[in-house]
Structure 1
Amino acid sequence: MALMGCASAATIPASATTETPQYFQTTPELWPGPTATGTAPFLAQTNLAPFGESRTVNPNDPLETQMPIQGKPEKQNIFRLMGQLSHYQPAVEGFGVEEYPLPAGANITQVNVLHRHGSRYPTSSNIVAKLGSALGKAHINATGALSFLNSWKYSLGAEILVPVGRQEMFDSGVLHYYQYAHLYDTNTKIIARTPTQDRMTKSAEYFLAGFFGQEWTNNATIEVIIENSGFNNSLAGGKNCKNSNGDVSALGDDATAQWYNIYLANATARFNSMTSGYNWTADDTYAAQTLCPYETVALGFSKWCDLFTYEEWQGFEYSLDLNFNGDDGFASPTGRAVGIAYVEEFLARLQHHVLSTPEGTANITLDNNTATFPINQTLNFDFSHDTNIFSILTAFGFTQFQEDLPATHMVNRNTIISHITPFGARLDVEVIKTPQPVPANRSSDYVAGPPTTYLHFILNQRTLPLGASFPECGDRVDGWCDIDTFLAVQEKSAALANADYACNGDYPKVPYGTIKDGAPLT
């Protein structure tokens, strides 16, 4: 199939003079992507937000996230409404089940960690940079709440981690050490995998430093997989999936634009009433709202945040849910295809074999070699992107997130991206072996029967119930699933993704909401 190769016509730069194979080389970086840094923060001088009773002054929590927001309910915070741009917090609301401890005698024998990078600057093509450029060229006279624009300058970098992003990854490494350090075999050196972009390799390094300490290179080797157009990479599956980067799969973009033209109509009118020399459109207002989370993680505080009402922040969150649903999830024709390669790798690890004939964008050169795709590691650390992780959940078939989300009004939903792929998101999958079956209602530790192996999916520190998406797993109160049942369910996942056609086929673009199962209609 067209997607099985690992290379393309792109020129591969010469490696540094070293005996290290290119896929284990982290310095110098070969495909770092854009790495522009931004203005250094000066929060002690620029923070205009009040420090009320709800604000804890903690040097290890540097972001100013308490500010007066019109219509905000007590104890609510707009920084939990920022989708994939949210600074990491656990998914405290959970995904529909309670948390249960392991019964006596049960043992976690493997964990697979799929981790998003930490908080970063905007990508180079992001709408906030375009707005910053437009405002910088305009002759603006702003009044009222927008008067800061008379001296404001866009000062963000591009794509690399911001300081709090480094902290998120280090803290996650420490947390995972407390959770899973016992699984590490001190006689081994594990392989951790990451794409080559700078924020990805740095995220892997900060995580491993948190897990193992500064001497982490004694315990782990980072495998860097080329992240560039035309190269197969399960951790950046869209790079060799042509249609995922084209208009045919931009259905979420369409839905987001339709929605923000509705929910930001009043805000756009407000902005225009306070500005001369610049005509605000809904596109501009949406970019201005997006500046709030980006400036907050980069500079510690943003004057853009309190310009919007709480209801408008709820609309912002929904706009991002729509985007992921239509571009990367079940409402996208390439939703399953982009994520299927990692699903196949995960299943191969569970069954202790390499990959030789994968679907999707798995790098067969690396996945068919135990030196670069170990099949018996008890700790597997993989680092990826938000959209890729959401596509992986789609490729697994987590129908808990298979919902009709209209672009005209908000609805109650499970697909809340701030709970699923915030900055620093992590999906931990535990393999649990028990001496006997664990009852589905957890009324006792065990029931009569043979030894059993279960899978436990944990998304941002809360259980993702497998029975909610895979009825074959049963209605378990702990959300677990028998591993053999799960493997049987996943036998159809590659066919459902239809990766070669989804990524390379010639099919028409359809309106947002037409596609329901993450694959082309044909």
Structure 2
Amino acid sequence: MRASIVCAIGVAGAAVIEKRQEDSSTVPQYFQTYPELYTGPTLTGEPAALAETNPAPFPGTTYIPPQPLETQAPIIGTPSDGGNIFQLFGQLSHYFPNPDGFGVDEYTLPKGTNITKLHMLHRHGSRCPTAKYGTVDKLLNNTDKWQASGKLSFLNEWTYKLGEQILVPVGKQELFDSGVLHQYLYGNLYPNNGSKIIARSTTQDRMIQSAEYFLAGFFGLRWPDNATLEVIIEEPNFNNSLAGYFACNNSNLPVSTGGTNATKKWASVYLADALERLQGMIDPPDAINITDVYNFQSLCAYETVALGYSSFCDLFTFEEWQGYEYSVDINFAGNNAFQSPTGRAVGIGWVEELRARLTHEYLTTARGSVNVTLDSMPSTFPLDQALNFDFSHDTNIMSILTAFGLTQFQPFMPDTTYTPHRSLIVSHMEPFAARLDIEIIEAPRPVVVNRGALGPDSSPYADAGEPTTYVHFKLNQRTIPLGVSYSECGLRRDGWCEIGAFLDATAGAWEASRYDYACNGDYESLPYGSINSGAPQ
């Protein structure tokens, strides 16, 4: 049995998987999970020591034991009615359900209506950074050239303890807990005839482990008796709808970095006071710059999930943390969503796969990031599964939402001023362990559009009509109202969409992505905000 790798060396996994798919004559090479192939970069970091390093109880704060992360640091400017900076970390936020929803109320299923299928798309859990920030080497390699004081004095003895790209302990817990939750929600959909389902992930280490921890939470430690994990290569020049950027050349070039440029511009605005404040705590002041200060905020997020606590967190005010969250939002908008020329193209492969599953058609034409070899075979792309579990990445899932044409996330956000009321908030959409649950619901008669509006005793069903199937999108446990983006669905109070209307509404998704030109065309980089369709002009 292989020991679980975590960000902190020597820390055992919260739920060690005792049985993994190993190479054998019955398991195809691209399905095996051990030994791992095409794992991507990994680097083990140092173990956490929160029992020694935790500064709590903070002055004036009632002691609350970490569970497991220390998130009680007092932050200047926190609203009197409450606020949590640890939910302002954008895609680096430890998982939490969307607290505000997406503009529609939640409804229970009417009696007699059943969920018959689930198509789940899940992000991996909390992880170490993809690589060490340049700020780290600049500081650690020049310790004789600067001296910190005040709140920055911890830097004088600070060392870098993070690894690269692999799951941290709480990341494993996030996926295991999600598997348990999904068992409670959808366990009845697992076939009782003893057959195994196909779940899909990519070959990166954190992706395989995320899938395994989820499946262990859903089925138990003997999950390979219930599911086969289809592991699709995540590398350049391989088609993989769960990592669509590797099949889309332009998504990795400057034409698709409008969001990165916007983030840099906004950082110079919202961190101006922080830069001046922190430069006053280090000698010489120019030992740190605006990029370093921005990286301090990211290090707060990464150290918190990896080590349990970070001294970087309370260097900033609550308003500056709101600015950080906004910097992530415009980054995703410009790099991966509607303000990106490749926003739709990167995600269109998975949209094509969902449509194929809903229409019971195999994909036999190679286009986009679809792996047509796998998607044309019943053994690797079953169309009759009631439970479909896919595991992907944050930017890829954002592009998938864009490829669906969910225009409620389209409005432009400027890179010079803060937009408080906005629909695209990455911490609500793509935190670590984010999950999109697409339910297929069958009703004996049409469900009325405004159910519940006439009171609790009113019937949820139309007086007459045929059995009707609906599609229901839930992102991080809150409904995305499909009628807001698709006129074909109508503005239903429950956010559902009749399946025929949904298929009609997404029929033009491939064309809207302009895939071939978006990914391979020769076009100029445009300033952030010049594009608003998720495709090149």
TM-score > 0.5, shorter chain as reference: yes
Unmatched segments (≥5 aa) in structure 2: 1-21, 453-458
2:7 corresponding residue in structure 1: none
CA distance in 1, matches of 2:116, 2:386: 6
1:185 corresponding residue in structure 2: 191
Q: How does 1:450-465 map to 2 (within 5 A)?
A: 450-465=466-481
Amino acid at match of 2:319: E
2:226 corresponding residue in structure 1: 219
1:320 corresponding residue in structure 2: 328
The answer to whether 1:144 aligns with 2:161 is: no
Q: How does 1:412-491 map to 2 (within 5 A)?
A: 412-443=421-452, 444-447=459-462, 448-491=464-507
CA deviations on 1:302-340 (whole Å, 9 max, x unpaired) are 000000011100000000000000000000000000000
CA distance in 2, matches of 1:56, 1:477: 40
Is the deviation greater in 131-140 or in 399-408? Answer: 131-140
Amino acid at match of 2:331: N
Amino acid at match of 1:503: C
TM-score w.r.t. length of structure 1: 0.94
State whether residues 262 and 415 of structure 2, in contact with CA within 8 Å, keep that contact through their aligned partners in structure 1.
Answer: yes
The answer to whether 1:380 aligns with 2:396 is: no
The answer to whether 1:353 aligns with 2:361 is: yes
2:117 corresponding residue in structure 1: 110
- Deviation, structure 1 residue 54: 7.0
Q: How does 1:18-37 map to 2 (within 5 A)?
A: 18-37=25-44
State whether residues 488 and 504 of structure 2, in contact with CA within 8 Å, keep that contact through their aligned partners in structure 1.
Answer: no
- Deviation, structure 1 residue 272: 1.3
- Deviation, structure 1 residue 269: 1.2
CA distance in 2, matches of 1:481, 1:329: 23
Q: How does 1:152-191 map to 2 (within 5 A)?
A: 152-187=158-193, 188-191=195-198
CA distance in 2, matches of 1:306, 1:50: 14
State whether residues 129 and 154 of structure 1, in contact with CA within 8 Å, keep that contact through their aligned partners in structure 2.
Answer: no
- Deviation, structure 1 residue 469: 1.1
State whether residues 108 and 430 of structure 1, in contact with CA within 8 Å, keep that contact through their aligned partners in structure 2.
Answer: yes
1:134 corresponding residue in structure 2: 138
CA distance in 2, matches of 1:292, 1:53: 20
Amino acid at match of 2:515: A
State whether residues 333 and 520 of structure 1, in contact with CA within 8 Å, keep that contact through their aligned partners in structure 2.
Answer: yes
CA deviations on 1:59-86 (whole Å, 9 max, x unpaired) are xx20011111111113211011110000
State whether residues 85 and 423 of structure 1, in contact with CA within 8 Å, keep that contact through their aligned partners in structure 2.
Answer: yes
Q: 1:467 to 1:54 in 2, by over 3 A?
A: farther
Amino acid at match of 1:380: N
- Residue 245 (structure 1) aligned to one of 246, 252, 257: 252
- Residue 258 (structure 1) aligned to one of 260, 265, 280: 265
CA distance in 1, matches of 2:23, 2:385: 29
- Deviation, structure 1 residue 384: 0.2
Q: 1:72 to 1:40 in 2, by over 3 A?
A: same
1:467 aligned counterpart, secondary structure: helix
CA distance in 2, matches of 1:166, 1:196: 17
Give % identity: 58
2:14 corresponding residue in structure 1: none
- Deviation, structure 1 residue 56: 4.6
State whether residues 252 and 512 of structure 1, in contact with CA within 8 Å, keep that contact through their aligned partners in structure 2.
Answer: yes
CA distance in 2, matches of 1:201, 1:17: 18
Amino acid at match of 2:128: Y
- Residue 498 (structure 1) aligned to one of 479, 494, 514: 514
Q: 1:390 to 1:55 in 2, by over 3 A?
A: farther
1:472 aligned counterpart, secondary structure: helix
State whether residues 498 and 519 of structure 1, in contact with CA within 8 Å, keep that contact through their aligned partners in structure 2.
Answer: yes
CA distance in 2, matches of 1:109, 1:169: 23
CA deviations on 1:341-368 (whole Å, 9 max, x unpaired) are 0000011111112101253111111111
2:340 corresponding residue in structure 1: 332
Give RMSD over aligned pairs: 1.3
CA distance in 2, matches of 1:17, 1:218: 16
The answer to whether 1:307 aligns with 2:315 is: yes
State whether residues 457 and 464 of structure 1, in contact with CA within 8 Å, keep that contact through their aligned partners in structure 2.
Answer: yes
CA distance in 2, matches of 1:54, 1:473: 50
CA distance in 2, matches of 1:92, 1:17: 45
- Deviation, structure 1 residue 50: 2.8
- Deviation, structure 1 residue 289: 1.0
CA distance in 2, matches of 1:49, 1:500: 54
CA distance in 2, matches of 1:68, 1:79: 12
2:512 aligned counterpart, secondary structure: helix
1:65 corresponding residue in structure 2: 71
CA distance in 1, matches of 2:175, 2:535: 33
Is the deviation greater in 290-299 or in 128-137? Answer: 128-137
CA distance in 1, matches of 2:192, 2:305: 36
Amino acid at match of 1:445: P
State whether residues 56 and 63 of structure 2, in contact with CA within 8 Å, keep that contact through their aligned partners in structure 1.
Answer: no
CA deviations on 1:191-221 (whole Å, 9 max, x unpaired) are 0000100000000000000000000000000
2:236 corresponding residue in structure 1: 229
CA distance in 1, matches of 2:282, 2:407: 46
- Deviation, structure 1 residue 57: 3.1
CA deviations on 1:11-33 (whole Å, 9 max, x unpaired) are xxxx9675421121111101111
Q: How many residues align?
A: 502
Amino acid at match of 2:139: L
1:161 aligned counterpart, secondary structure: coil
- Residue 399 (structure 1) aligned to one of 407, 424, 442: 407
- Residue 364 (structure 1) aligned to one of 372, 384, 396: 372
Q: 1:221 to 1:16 in 2, by over 3 A?
A: closer
CA deviations on 1:356-409 (whole Å, 9 max, x unpaired) are 125311111111111111111000000000000000000000101001110001
CA distance in 2, matches of 1:66, 1:91: 20
State whether residues 344 and 358 of structure 1, in contact with CA within 8 Å, keep that contact through their aligned partners in structure 2.
Answer: no
- Deviation, structure 1 residue 131: 1.4
Amino acid at match of 1:216: W
CA distance in 2, matches of 1:53, 1:208: 39
CA distance in 1, matches of 2:376, 2:133: 41
- Deviation, structure 1 residue 431: 0.3
2:485 aligned counterpart, secondary structure: coil
- Deviation, structure 1 residue 48: 1.1
CA deviations on 1:204-245 (whole Å, 9 max, x unpaired) are 000000000000000000000000011110000001110000
Unmatched segments (≥5 aa) in structure 1: 1-14
